[in-house]
Amino acid sequence: MEEDRLLFHEMGLDDRLLKALADLGWSQPTLIQEKAIPLALEGKDLLARARTGSGKTAAYAVPLIQRILTSKQTVREQAIRALVLVPTKELGQQVQTMIRQLTAYCGRDVRVADISGKADLSAQKPILMEKPDIVVSTPSRVQAHINAQNLQLHTSLEMLVIDEADLLFSFGFEADLKSLLCHFPKIYQAFLMSATLNDDVQALKDLVLHNPVTLKLQGSQLPDSSQLQQYSVQCEEEDKFLLIYTLLKLGLVRGKSLIFVGDVDRCYRLKLFLEQFSIPACVLNSELPVHSRCHIIAQFNQGFYNYIIATDEQGLENPVASSQKTQEKGKKKKNSGKSGKGKDKEYGVSRGIDFHNVSNVINFDFPTSVESYIHRVGRTARADNPGTALSFISHTELPMLTEVESALSGDTECVLKPYGFKMEEIEGFRYRCRDAMRSVTKQAMKEARLKEIKQELLNSEKLKTYFEDNPRDLQLLRHDKDLHPAVIKPHMKNVPEYLIPATLKSLVNPLKQRRKRKFKTGGMMLSSFKSTFRGKNPLKSFRYTRKKRGEKKAGKT
């Protein structure tokens, strides 16, 4: 523990808020919280650059709640006092959840409503008529409600938060945001939270902030190598499938994993491929209805699924938002929001979303921008947790790897190391992988995609009605079921003993239980087995790391 860090109870916070913080198990504020909360409570405008996973939601949510509690001691009249603007519906729901947790003991005094969901405007009108103290929304939703005269902010708004500010512009909210400003009062306190302070954010700063304090706290955009291990492995298309099969089927990847692919089709290609081997995985992309997406994330966080195959289409379609190279060239291209039929432009999983306890991020397809890499990989190693990122790199993806490496090279502690896996050792699996790949035809993918969307639309309807009332029933609703557009051969489920490389035999069946115990914290088996993996024996270093972490933890408490 850092000796002189200000603690929550030294910040003059309401007891109910302190109790909720204690329930969350947060023994001390994160760096951004330590700096931002006192300044915000003094009434300062803030521009904060904070690394994803740094605790920035609470950095603005705590002062928001505290100021509302204080203000309600004098003026009890119910009013919308704070507006939190977010770029995606997923983030909207996450922010609402966090605020609900923080207001667990003062929920009557501080009410929050997330209106970023897709419900009809008229269905949300009664919520707004009750004037929740905090409204969370995307800019376009707020604008729509203002236009429909369901929402008035020009007299009551006291605080404005713009979360993931850099993304708001890239999601095409620029016009919405600018026209919203005319509906705000002249004076309000504003917080701008952003992972990067690019030109868009500077422009926004001039529009909404008055004499702000700028907090540039993060040293690097990603945690250092003692917390986040980053690897890359060169492999072409077929090898990507071979490697993912081996990693998952032989249990070389442990714990919850997010697997990122390049587009929606690839989601289904990989899901169907894994399905051939009875490896269940959820798919997460912008075509799925928002209720399903949020439910998948909620269930993943509760430990229902081990693998999510996700796209980060916004990041992919708008690589320019951060690509330094392109920025230098001044060729900025804004996402016009025309991200394709059936796709939700307010979708985003690689940015801002707090997947819990993700042990591994696997870039099955490498992202197409530095920013996208940082945000994908930022889904693991959150708060104080360790994490591993592994990127599969085909020859066409090499230039982007170089770009990512040079962008991260400022951080000597934050580099991609080669994942020393001997592909030739797993040649024996190639035949069955090819067989499985052949079964995943274009037609099968098309059918799977349609079937999934149909299924999820039904799920989404159920979720819409039951989410609040019957949370238990919802546990029965799963999103990782087989889609079965292709014939599944039962024998593919098992891994024949003779195919397992001698060096990996100790990893599979016979010693499974023992192995499980060793890896129960999650992670990725690296060059633990000298002959299959190149390099020194990192099982040692894995144990060492754990020991070191244990010591660190012990030292902390």
Cα atoms in the 13 Å half-sphere on the side-chain side of 325: 11
Interface with ligand AMP, residue 55, by CB under 6 A: yes
| Interface region with ligand AMP, contact rule CB under 6 A, candidates 26-34, 39-47, 338-346, 357-365 | 26-34
Q: In what order do the strands lie in the sheet with 282-284?
A: 282-284, 307-311, 256-261, 358-363, 387-393, 228-234, 416-418
Of 35, 49, 53, 440, the one binding ligand AMP (CB under 6 A) is 53
Measured from the CB of residue 54, what is the shortest distance to ligand AMP in angstroms? Answer: 5
List the one residue out of 407, 383, 254, 375 whose CA is nearest residue 311: 375
Interface with ligand AMP, residue 29, by CB under 6 A: yes
Interface with ligand AMP, residue 38, by CB under 6 A: no
Measured from the CB of residue 372, what is the shortest distance to ligand AMP in angstroms? Answer: 18
DSSP 167: H
Interface with ligand AMP, residue 56, by CB under 6 A: yes
Q: Is the Cβ of residue 5 or residue 446 nearer to ligand AMP in the bound state?
A: 5
Q: Is the Cβ of residue 373 or residue 421 nearer to ligand AMP in the bound state?
A: 373
- Phi, psi (rounded to 5 degrees) for 229: -100, 125
Strands 159-162, 189-194: pairing is parallel
- State the Cα–Cα distance between residues 222 and 372, nearest whole angstrom: 12
Q: Is the Cβ of residue 355 or residue 529 nearer to ligand AMP in the bound state?
A: 355
- Maximum distance among all Cα pairs of the chain, rounded to whole angstroms: 76
Give the start-end residues of each E strand in 369-445.
387-393, 416-418
Measured from the CB of residue 208, what is the shortest distance to ligand AMP in angstroms? Answer: 21
- State the Cα–Cα distance between residues 139 and 175, nearest whole angstrom: 9
Hey, what amino acid is at 312?
Answer: D
Q: Is the Cβ of residue 35 or residue 271 nearer to ligand AMP in the bound state?
A: 35
Interface with ligand AMP, residue 254, by CB under 6 A: no
SS3 429: helix
- State the Cα–Cα distance between residues 325 and 321, nearest whole angstrom: 11
Measured from the CB of residue 98, what is the shortest distance to ligand AMP in angstroms? Answer: 7
Measured from the CB of residue 83, what is the shortest distance to ligand AMP in angstroms? Answer: 18
Interface with ligand AMP, residue 103, by CB under 6 A: no
Measured from the CB of residue 245, what is the shortest distance to ligand AMP in angstroms? Answer: 31
Measured from the CB of residue 373, what is the shortest distance to ligand AMP in angstroms? Answer: 18
| Interface region with ligand AMP, contact rule CB under 6 A, candidates 52-60, 269-277, 473-481, 521-529 | 52-60
Interface with ligand AMP, residue 315, by CB under 6 A: no
Of 31, 39, 48, 58, the one binding ligand AMP (CB under 6 A) is 58
* CB-based burial, 279-305: b 16+ in 10 Å, e otherwise: bebbbbbbbbbbbbbbbbbbbbbeebb
Q: Is the Cβ of residue 25 or residue 126 nearer to ligand AMP in the bound state?
A: 25
Measured from the CB of residue 86, what is the shortest distance to ligand AMP in angstroms? Answer: 12
Measured from the CB of residue 217, what is the shortest distance to ligand AMP in angstroms? Answer: 12
Annotate each residue in 325-364 with x if it binds ligand AMP (CB under 6 A) or - if it does not, as one string.
-----------------------------x----------
- Contacts with ligand AMP: how many residues (CB under 6 A)? 13
Interface with ligand AMP, residue 382, by CB under 6 A: yes
Measured from the CB of residue 437, what is the shortest distance to ligand AMP in angstroms? Answer: 37
SS3 50: coil
SS3 142: helix
Q: Is the Cβ of residue 55 or residue 485 nearer to ligand AMP in the bound state?
A: 55
| Residue 244 CB burial class (10 angstroms; 0-12, 13-18, ≥19) | buried
Cα atoms in the 13 Å half-sphere on the side-chain side of 74: 4
For tokens 């949510």, name the residue.
61
Measured from the CB of residue 414, what is the shortest distance to ligand AMP in angstroms? Answer: 18
What spatial distance separates the first Cα and last Cα of the chain, rounded to whole Å? 7
| Interface region with ligand AMP, contact rule CB under 6 A, candidates 56-64, 241-249, 500-508, 537-545 | 56-64
SS3 170: helix
For tokens 């593919």, name the residue.
492
Report which secondary-structure segment, H or E, holds 201: helix 199-208
Interface with ligand AMP, residue 30, by CB under 6 A: yes
Of 48, 49, 57, 311, the one binding ligand AMP (CB under 6 A) is 57
Interface with ligand AMP, residue 365, by CB under 6 A: no
Measured from the CB of residue 52, what is the shortest distance to ligand AMP in angstroms? Answer: 6
Number of neighbours of residue 468 by Cβ within 10 angstroms:
7
Q: Is the Cβ of residue 37 or residue 437 nearer to ligand AMP in the bound state?
A: 37
CA dist 92 → 108, 145, 300, 301, 408 (Å):
21, 16, 18, 16, 29
Interface with ligand AMP, residue 26, by CB under 6 A: yes
Q: Is the Cβ of residue 21 or residue 463 nearer to ligand AMP in the bound state?
A: 21
DSSP 303: T
Of 119, 121, 127, 383, the one binding ligand AMP (CB under 6 A) is 383
Where along the sequence are the contacts to ligand AMP (CB under 6 A)?
A: 26, 29-30, 33, 53-58, 354, 382-383
